[in-house]
Amino acid sequence: MPKFKAVLFDKDGVLIDSLETCMDAFNDTLVHFQKPTLSREGFIREVWGVRAETVINSIFFDKNEHEREEIRRFYNNSRAMRVNKTQLFSSTVPTLQVLKASGVKTAVVTNTLKRTALKLLNDFGILQYFDEVIGGDEAEAKPSPAPVLLACERLGVRPEEALYVGDTPTDAKAGKAAGCITAIITTSHNAVDLAEIGDILIIDDLSELLNIVQ
């Protein structure tokens, strides 16, 4: 019997290798709207794992809502133009296939808007592996535990019966606050830095989940 009844996944940085895509699109947006660009370390620290709308609102605090909406649209379009640079991690499909066959329930919990998340998951051919997709417009954004708890509710499992998998300190906060065992993969932060968070599992490859779940 599996040790967990459900596995909940963040999307970007866990299932989909999109950090470079998002960083390039974000810096493209900053240049277009005459703001200083971010280094890779700065992007990971300030932007990665946070809802894009939240970051844009913070950086462009001096703009009105109509102007910020234009900036968000530019960013989304810039990211879409780079979709060919985005790809699945090599372990994503094999891991999802094994989990599906084992009867473990699965969900995606992302700060990305649901319609966008559904399209991306479908475009990459992995939407069928998930029982639920929780988008950033359905609950308070992570690091709030709200979307993780909503996923558990929809899957019909208790938080302590679910493993939450992310790649950022934001994910760690959300998973732990929800009461889930939380695993963080080292795709955007190194193991040494992640170890400082405490009370999380640290993995280097998604396939390691199979030893944890089963």
Q: Which residue from 2, 183, 15, 178 is spatially nearest to 104, judged by alpha carbons?
A: 2
**Residue 23, amino acid:** M
Contact assessment for residue 149 and residue 62, using Cβ atoms and an 8 Å cutoff: no
Classified as helix, coil or strand, 112 is: coil
User: Which residue in 10, 28, 167, 171 is the catalytic one?
Assistant: 10
Q: What are phi and psi of 126, to 5 degrees?
A: -125, 5
Q: Which residue from 214, 187, 4 is spatially nearest to 107, judged by alpha carbons?
A: 4
**Residue 161, amino acid:** E
Q: Which residue from 137, 24, 14 is spatially nearest to 79, judged by alpha carbons?
A: 24
**Residue 12, amino acid:** D
Classified as helix, coil or strand, 109 is: strand
Q: Which residues are registered as beta bridge partners of 8?
A: 107, 164
Active site residue 10: yes
Residues 6 or more apart in contact with residue 55 via CB below 8 angstroms? 26, 46, 47
Catalytic positions are 10
